[in-house]
Amino acid sequence: MGRKKKETPTQKFIAGTEPVSIGEIDKAADNYRAARDSRMSELEEEIELQGKLLAVMRKHNLSKYIYDGYEVVVLDGDAKAKVKRVKEKAAVEA
């Protein structure tokens, strides 16, 4: 998985020069930042898993594969893979 970034400490201010702080905004911003950082780490894992899927598709020399109602398609000249749900009608015809 990707590298973990160090959490940077908050800057300290000289007494009397602190900016005005609104606790409600500070808390909301911290919650948003935590959710964003979590999503970004999940994105790194998703990219890694997509690479593994591409490697397996290349190993079996496939650009399209259907299983259990899903279709795996390799796009952009082997640079990206998508897994899509196959519509019922298309599944019956296949």
Residue spans of the domains in the chain: they are 23-93
pLDDT above 70 covers what percent of the chain?
Answer: 87
pLDDT, one tens digit per residue, over 42-76 is 999 999 999 999 999 999 999 999 999 999 999 87
pTM of the model: 0.60
- Are the C-beta atoms of 83 and 72 separated by less than 8 Å? yes
Task: Tally the C-alpha atoms within 13 A of residue 68's C-alpha that lie toward its C-beta.
Answer: 1
3-state secondary structure of 68: coil
d(Cα 48, Cα 1) in Å, to the nearest integer? Answer: 7
